[in-house]
Amino acid sequence: MDKYILFFTLMFPIVFFSQKNQTNINAKNIIKNVIQNKVNNNSSDKFKSFEYTNYNKIIFSAHDSLVSDKIAVITDYRLKSFLKTRADSASYKFKQEIKNKHFFIAEKISKIQFSNNKNKETILAAKMAGFKKPIYEFLSLGLTTLNFYNNKLILFGTSYVSPLAKNAFKDYNYSIKKTTSKNFVIHFKSKKRKKSVGLEGDLFINKNNYSLTKVNTKINGKVAVEITQNYKLLANNNHWFIKNTNILLSKGTSKSSIKAFRILIGFRPKYSVSKFNPEEVSYVQIYSENDAIIINKPIKIKRNDYAINIDEKATDRNSKYWDYQKNTNRLKENKTYDFLDSIVKSQNIERKLTILKKIMKGKFATKVLDIDLSQLANFNNYEGFRLGIGGSTNNWLSSKFKLSGYAAYGFKDETLKYKYGADFLINKNSNAWIGASYTNDLFESAKPRLLFKDDNFALINPRNTNISLFYKYKTTEIHVNHDIAPNLITKSQISTGSYENQFNYSFISRTKLLHNYKLTNLSFGLVWTPYSKYMQTPVGKISIKKDYPKVNFEITKSFDNILDGDFSYTQVHLKLNHQIKTIKSGSTQFLFKAGYIFGEVPFSHLYNNLPNNSLTNPWRTRINLSGTDGFETMLFNEFISDKYASIQIRQNFEKFRIGKKFKPKLSFITRYAIGTIKNPQNHRGVNFQSIEKGYIESGLVLNQLFYGIGVSSFYRYGNYQFNKFEDNITLKITYVIDLL
């Protein structure tokens, strides 16, 4: 008997571990089969085209069942009176508020079409509590692209490796949770849980074709996320199609998420010492349901179609249009609409949000005009303090034409600068405009004047304080803007005018001797953002997803025999922006620029690589504001080129904590430029050198140390390094306005 006991005692661990290993092998094999069969089970892989109706709803609310309606007693030791206790009715009042209504609700009904690996959404109906016209950017938030068959899942701007990705076994462990007559239930869990927040949940897999029938997953991060996605079987096609998706967000592990929910729900307990925290029971729910699914219907999605279009009648649908939606608590939702409609109207919130959206783009919206904030004030060596005002008319006046312009006065040169123009809409679908303008202003010499300006808004340009070489110009131009596709925009322009250098300069060649001159230029430019997405709305084109790469190409031909032009040259310019995001919040950014000029060209239209440094003494006077993408250690007018190329690499890291209040962002940057110039002796009155040996600098940026203020430091090395160490190093102040 003792021998049998000893035998089973020795064999039990072997049998146990053998079964456990067999379970892991089975789970892994099942997932392998799911991954191998994705081409047959993923709708976008299996079918050439399909179409369905999608209902989407977002609710901000709270679980009233978790809130006590009892009035508590709290002790407040800050009171000076002898009696330090009082009633705490915060929980009671909160429950009364959320019994019959939510904090916020928005809904939309869309027709989703898929063909040739392209998606198109047409919003047929939309409504948002409190707003006559919804916030169109908000309508782009949807769950139609949340597909677990994809290699990556993108939730609210954060990327996660899908448990069904090709390389998913590197990131997840799998085990069989249970089996039913029809499904395997596979539990998955991230391997890197300690290093980064990962997904965890259950995959319900059909035994016949290894297709997903249901997914449950959660993310226990700063904000807790729970996702449930159900599939339904299409009998005619023997295919499991996504039926509905439900996402629930609630307070997670971060204290900052508590603040976010408190701001979101707008509830304030009467006493700050209240024991009740409403964010503990608050949540955001996003629900999506698909219906009327049609497979392999002939659908043609054009290259120039927008990712999202809004039907002209979308915001005017009556209540009957929404009745088809099965809803268990429509009464509570209708009360939410009625309540928020009155609140938003009484507090003029719609108007305030319009102003905020414009400010984020560098505009201040009035009833008729959008004022350009970048024109208000600036400073440079030539004008001194520059005060101005400018802007353009908005859709309140007309959506088919706009008037624009500005006026500015320099207190040092005592001269008025101005611009005025008008643009007219040719075609709304292609966002085509034609316009003309006249400009009398000042510009930095040897800085490229591109047709498409940078998107980044800066109230004040810090480089201007050290620029010493300017030219005045008076030009008339006619331009045409046209979108070949939503992500491929073009601009054509013809301009003519006079240019006067505001320094002792002459262009001398075998055929020319000029101090001032006239230019007649024909320009064409395009911007291509292949992975960005845009929405066509009643107020025009809106960007809903900014992605990379971004390509900017421009070519200018100057004529010396048309409208008294003095130069004949061709100028080509290329700019490429790219960004690679990591699973965390870090990113690597690349900026490549190149320019090439054929023919004789004046100094004003050469390339200077955006320098931003000066060797003033004492050294502390060199500390100034940092630029955006210029060379921080390069001296003004030190290098000039007619052919150049430059590359910048920037590694951004996620925020890190210094104490309780300081969460700066750290970046490492390296910049390199190389270039040549033909016949530098033609440019008299300016001293510069060629950059043909290659210029390099590296440094670090520490942004948002204190109320948006940070510091940066760069070091100059390589072929153009100075002899003194202190001349090669710079210290700059950065300022970043975080509007979001």
DSSP-assigned letters across all residues of 630-651: SEEEEETTSB-BSEEEEEEEEE
pLDDT at 521 over 90: yes
CA distance 74 to 487: 59
CA distance 680 to 690: 9
pLDDT at 201 over 80: yes
Region 468-494 average pLDDT:
94
Helix axis angle for 349-360 and 330-347, nearest 10°, is: 70
pLDDT, position 559: 95
Angstrom distances, CA of residue 260 to CA of 222, 223, 267, 352, 655: 11, 10, 12, 20, 18
| Cis bond before residue 163 (omega within 30° of 0) | no
Whether 705 and 689 have beta carbons less than 8 Å apart is answered as no
SS3 state at 91: helix
Angstrom distances, CA of residue 714 to CA of 494, 619, 728: 40, 15, 8
Q: For 108-124, what is each residue's pLDDT tens digit?
A: 899 999 988 888 899 99
Q: What is the mean pLDDT of the chain?
A: 82
* Global confidence as pTM: 0.78
Strand-pair category, 624-625 with 729-735: parallel
Q: For 123-155, what is each residue's pLDDT tens digit?
A: 998 888 877 777 777 777 655 568 899 988 877
DSSP 456: -
CA distance 12 to 725: 72
Residues 6+ apart with CB under 8 A from 331: none
CA distance 502 to 651: 39
Whether 589 and 548 have beta carbons less than 8 Å apart is answered as no
pLDDT, position 690: 93
DSSP 441: E
SS3 state at 139: helix
Region 279-291 average pLDDT:
83
* Lookup result for tokens 């061709």: 570
Q: How confident is the model at residue 1 (pLDDT cuts 50, 70, 90)?
A: very low
Handedness of CA 367, 368, 370, 372 (dihedral sign): negative
SS3 state at 387: strand
Which carries the bigger pLDDT value, residue 567 or residue 279? 567
Region 217-221 average pLDDT:
84
pLDDT, position 622: 72
pLDDT, position 18: 41
pLDDT, position 583: 55
pLDDT, position 155: 77
Range 430-735 classified under CATH 2.40.160: yes
Straight-line distance from the first to the last Cα atom of the chain, in angstroms, rounded to the nearest whole number: 75
pLDDT, position 76: 56
CA distance 560 to 150: 56
DSSP-assigned letters across all residues of 417-435: EEEEEEEEEEETTTTEEEE
pLDDT, position 273: 47
pLDDT, position 145: 65
- Angle ∠(636,640,644) on CA atoms, nearest 5: 125
Q: How confident is the model at residue 195 (pLDDT cuts 50, 70, 90)?
A: very low
Q: For 237-277, what is each residue's pLDDT tens digit?
A: 789 999 999 998 887 766 554 444 444 444 444 444 455 56
Tokens of 566: 């003095």
Which carries the bigger pLDDT value, residue 291 or residue 77? 291
Whether 535 and 528 have beta carbons less than 8 Å apart is answered as no
pLDDT at 287 over 80: yes
Domains of the chain: which residue ranges?
23-347, 350-427, 430-735
Cβ neighbours of 422 (radius 10 Å): 15
Q: How confident is the model at residue 428 (pLDDT cuts 50, 70, 90)?
A: confident
Q: Which of 579-593, 652-666, 670-684 has the highest mean pLDDT?
A: 670-684
Per 3-state DSSP, what percentage of the chain is helix, strand, and coil (rounded to 5)? 20, 45, 35
Q: Which of 455-459, 501-505, 691-695 has the lowest mean pLDDT?
A: 455-459
Q: Which of 87-91, 357-361, 602-606, 657-661 has the lowest mean pLDDT?
A: 87-91
Q: Which amino acid is at 505?
A: Y
DSSP H helical ranges for 280-363:
330-347, 349-360
pLDDT, position 420: 96
Region 270-287 average pLDDT:
67
Q: For 380-423, what is each residue's pLDDT tens digit?
A: 888 999 999 999 998 888 889 999 999 999 999 999 999 999 99
* Lookup result for tokens 């299996």: 46
Whether 469 and 494 have beta carbons less than 8 Å apart is answered as no
DSSP-assigned letters across all residues of 267-295: ---SSTT-S--GGGTEEEEEEEEEEEEEE
* Lookup result for tokens 């904090």: 103
